[in-house]
Amino acid sequence: MFAHYGSRLERKCVSPSTQRIEQVYEQVVSRNPGEHEFHQAVREVFDSLTRVLSRHPEYVEASILERICEPERQIIFRIPWIDDEGTVHINRGFRVQYNSALGPYKGGLRFHPSVLLGTVKFLGFEQIFKNALTGLPIGGGKGGSDFDPKGRSDAEIMRFCQSFMTEAYRHLGDRVDVPAGDIGVGRRAIGYLFGQYKRISNRYEAGVLTGKGITWGGSLVRTEATGYGTVYFTEHMLSTRGSSFDGAKVLVSGSGNVAIYAIEKVTELGGTVVGASDSGGSVYDPDGIDLELLREVKEVRRARISEYADQRPSAQYLDARQVWAVAEKTPVDVALPCATQNELDEHDAATLIASGVKAVAEGANMPTTPEAIRALRESGVLFGPGKAANAGGVATSALEMQQNAIRDSWSFEYTEQRLSEIMENIHTRCADTADEYGIPGDYVAGANIAGFTQVADAMIAQGVI
Ligand code: NAP
């Protein structure tokens, strides 16, 4: 599944900037063996930086590339907990505090059996630049555990979260490090984590976690923010070509937090979502996904998406990886990968291109493989990278921190308005930066360069630390 991105030094006529980038990349690979997703995330950012280093020799002199790839702190810990039958389990917990140049570390927690240190590092590395793009004062971090919440009772989830926080709390704080949710960590887990933090720190420090319940410090729109934000960003991309979601046919992968609210906003803007998925399967629904039924299956019953197909006469059930293959059955205008990393490969990109797709935007983190991104861009498809397209979630988390700091809570309308303005600004920033560097329409480079330069300038101003 994962490509290995080896040395490119053999390529001829390399500029000093390219040479430096390749040297640092080789160091990253050799210092972090086996962490392929992390290498992939670094490669993707580095590929945008040749022009930047040529214009800014001060970044090379201050060894910004080397410093930005090395997390400021990495914490790995044991999480013992007892299941409902009395069996003791041991999981592994991680928190990678990546970069605090712009503010306290900020980034979600992922609970999924696939989580390794390299997973957390790839997500934390991306988070640095994403958080910079929001224009809000937040640094980058990420965490999680290889714990699988699927099929666990509420009591088991609570005991696990309490054990996680019993170690993690000493590294967190509203001015230090502020986690949130991610895959497998929704409002229920955030509640248990917050409760344990409060208990052992003896402080009601609302701003230590985001994604909290609305009645105890959470922000309206946080639940919807990533999905809505992805759709806003895509709408801005489409508008550069005189197009919109109105009347568009859309594919969304996943059926979790990001996917559900992306589907909701697409539908609100006049689009029809004809496919969705989970880790077990996909559905093709030519009549448009019935969001109420999907939420009942996935959020209330916590069941498999196959149950959606069982109950919906217009829907057809397909294999897990086949959500993009829906584009073989019907023309698709927009694809929004909202499930997990590397879920849309070169083959899927070819299917989407043949179907006439106009835009692909990443609701998930790094869901599109580098080969697929290349194919989409070479075919003139608008491509919105996750760092920009899914930044609405963390941006609204930062709005939650603002509300906590001033002990206030804002209305849904006001908060959504702020989110929509932030997404418009991110789009403008990416587009303007791409123009400035002579690569108009390249949102990947625009996002990487805008995020990187902001963090690099702050790091230089703060000295060698
Ligand atoms: P979630 O609520 O746990 O939902 C994840 C969805 O993806 C579920 O439908 C899940 O299926 C599916 N999935 C997970 N692993 C998969 C796999 N290996 N193959 C196929 N499908 C898989 O998580 P989420 O919060 O929506 O996050 C989704 C993505 O968005 C992640 O990449 C996350 O890092 C990114 N993101 C999230 C936020 C946020 O605010 N939540 C912000 C920025 C980025 P099952 O139901 O079968 O588990």
Residues 241, 320: one domain? yes
DSSP for residue 168:
H
Q: What pLDDT score does 311 carry?
A: 97
Q: What is the DSSP string of 243-298?
A: --STT-EEEEE--SHHHHHHHHHHHHTT-EEEEEE-SS-EEE-TT---HHHHHIII
Q: What pLDDT score does 8 carry?
A: 47
15 is in an annotated binding site: no
106 is in an annotated binding site: yes
Residue 393 near ligand 1, beta carbon < 6 Å? yes
Q: Considering the entire predicted model, what is its pTM?
A: 0.95
Interval 34-46: pLDDT, tens: 999 999 999 999 9
d(CA 204, CA 217): 10
How close is the Cα of 279 to the center of ligand 1, in Å? 9
Residues 112, 244: one domain? no
Q: What pLDDT score does 14 carry?
A: 81
387 is catalytic: no
Whether 147 maps to a domain, the answer reads: yes
Q: Which tokens sit at 365?
A: 């983190």
Whether 412 maps to a domain, the answer reads: no
Assess contact for 33 and 399: CB atoms under 8 A: no
Q: Which of 142, 249, 265, 298 is catalytic?
A: 142
**From the alpha carbon of 259, which atom of ligand 1 is closest?**
26
Whether 426 maps to a domain, the answer reads: no
- Structural domain containing residue 245: 225-380
| Residue bearing the CA closest to ligand 1, atom 2 | 256
Whether 373 maps to a domain, the answer reads: yes
Question: What is the residue-level pLDDT of the chain in tens, covering all 465 positions?
Answer: 334 444 444 445 789 999 999 999 999 999 999 999 999 999 999 999 999 999 999 999 999 999 999 999 999 999 999 999 999 999 999 999 999 999 999 999 999 999 999 999 999 999 999 999 999 999 999 999 999 999 999 999 999 999 999 999 999 999 999 999 999 999 999 999 999 999 999 999 999 999 999 999 999 999 999 999 999 999 999 999 999 999 999 999 999 999 999 999 999 999 999 999 999 999 999 999 999 999 999 999 999 999 999 999 999 999 877 899 999 999 999 999 999 999 999 999 999 999 999 999 999 999 999 999 999 999 999 999 999 999 999 999 999 999 999 999 999 999 999 999 999 999 999 999 999 999 999 999 999 999 999 999 999 999 999
Q: Choose one of 24, 50, 68: the last residue of a domain.
A: 68
The count of structural domains within the chain is 3
d(CA 256, CA 254): 6
Compute the half-sphere exposure of residue 179: CA atoms within 13 Å on the CB side of its CA. 33
How close is the Cα of 179 to the center of ligand 1, in Å? 17
Supply the CATH number for residue 160's domain: 3.40.50.10860
Residues 186, 90: one domain? yes
311 is in an annotated binding site: no
Supply the CATH number for residue 238's domain: 3.40.50.720
d(CA 136, CA 394): 10
Interval 334-378: pLDDT, tens: 999 999 999 999 999 999 999 999 999 999 999 999 999 999 999
Supply the CATH number for residue 6's domain: 1.10.285
Query: H or E segment at 382?
Result: strand 382-384
How close is the Cα of 100 to the center of ligand 1, in Å? 26
Q: Is the dihedral of CA 237, 240, 245, 247 positive or negative?
A: negative
